Amino acid sequence: MFGNFDFDVISRSWVYLFQVGMLFTLKLTALSMVGGIVLGTLLALMRLSSSRILSTVASSYVNLIRSIPLVLVIFWFYFLVPYIAAWIIGADEPVKVGAFSSALITFIMFEAAYYCEIMRSGIQSIPRGQVWAGQALGMNYYQTMANIVLPQAFRNMIPVLLTQTIVLFQDVSLVYVLSIPDFVGAASKIAQRDGRLVEMYVFVAVVYFVLCYALSFLVKRLQKRVAIIR
């Protein structure tokens, strides 16, 4: 199988793969990470809220999303959301969401469920005495969270959040099923065009391995630096 391995197809295509495919993958990963962390933080605060309604809604959402395969959620948003949006606004035609917007919404909502649990664990890792100290200074719940709890919790959670982001970076390759030109999708187009599936998919696997391994190593180093000594 590797006797006829053609390195020339890789040398001809790697610039396109990185300028188009990898750039798209990194863009979608970054936007999904930011949106997922923001929504995940809100969900975590809802889960920790004393309001049973807010806690139940957030808990139900997290458990539902974490129980559904990501590829199914991608298909659901891409094919069904345009019709649901049209039904809500009373339109006769499906609302045009677009592949990129659909993928972005999917990853933000899906990853928020995982970031929520990370945020919740980080918030709960802060000693209760910190909250009492904020209350003793006259701060309300939101001021205590914003000024005392969350800054410390974020520091504890940075390595885990980055690890989940590495997983997100890998999961973004699933947009290939929507024919979006991410790194895997761009490589697939070249592989189909030149009839060099082995070369392209081996190259993609090596790139993902090198990037993810290097990022995981950096996260471990960072974890030692940001750890709060108690």
Q: What average pLDDT does this structure show over 110-125?
A: 89
* 228 has pLDDT over 60: no
pTM of the model: 0.84
User: Is 1 a member of any domain?
Assistant: no
How far apart are alpha carbons 169 and 33 in whole angstroms?
A: 9
Between the alpha carbon of residue 144 and those of residues 40, 51, 186, the distances in Å are: 19, 18, 47
Q: Using an 8 Å Cβ cutoff, are 30 and 107 in contact? A: no
Query: Which of 29-33, 94-98, 158-162, 202-206 shows the lowest per-residue confidence on average (mean pLDDT)?
Result: 94-98
Task: Categorise residue 103: left if φ over 0, alpha if ψ from -120 to 50, beta otherwise.
Answer: alpha
User: Is 167 a member of any domain?
Assistant: yes
Select the more confidently predicted residue: 200 or 5: 200
How far apart are alpha carbons 181 and 174 in whole angstroms?
A: 11
Interval 205-226: pLDDT, tens: 999 999 999 999 998 888 777 6
Residue 106 domain boundaries:
8-226
Q: Using an 8 Å Cβ cutoff, are 166 and 216 in contact? A: yes
User: Is 3 a member of any domain?
Assistant: no
- CA-closest candidate to residue 202, choices 2, 28, 31: 2
Q: For residue 199, what are its two tokens?
A: 């070369």
DSSP state, residue 6: -
pLDDT band, very low/low/confident/very high, at 27 (cuts 50, 70, 90): very high
Query: Which of 27-36, 37-46, 139-148, 206-215 shows the lowest per-residue confidence on average (mean pLDDT)?
Result: 139-148
How far apart are alpha carbons 194 and 21 in whole angstroms?
A: 17
pLDDT band, very low/low/confident/very high, at 229 (cuts 50, 70, 90): very low
Between the alpha carbon of residue 208 and those of residues 6, 167, 184, the distances in Å are: 20, 11, 10
User: Is 2 a member of any domain?
Assistant: no
Look-up of token digits 């410390």 = 152
pLDDT band, very low/low/confident/very high, at 136 (cuts 50, 70, 90): confident
* 83 has pLDDT over 80: yes
Average pLDDT, the chain: 85
Interval 141-185: pLDDT, tens: 777 877 888 888 887 788 888 999 999 999 999 998 888 888 998
User: Is 177 a member of any domain?
Assistant: yes
CATH of the domain at 35: 1.10.3720.10
Q: Work out the number of other CB atoms within 10 angstroms of the CB of residue 149.
A: 21
* 230 has pLDDT over 60: no
Instruction: Provide the number of structural domains found in the chain.
Output: 1
* 35 has pLDDT over 80: yes
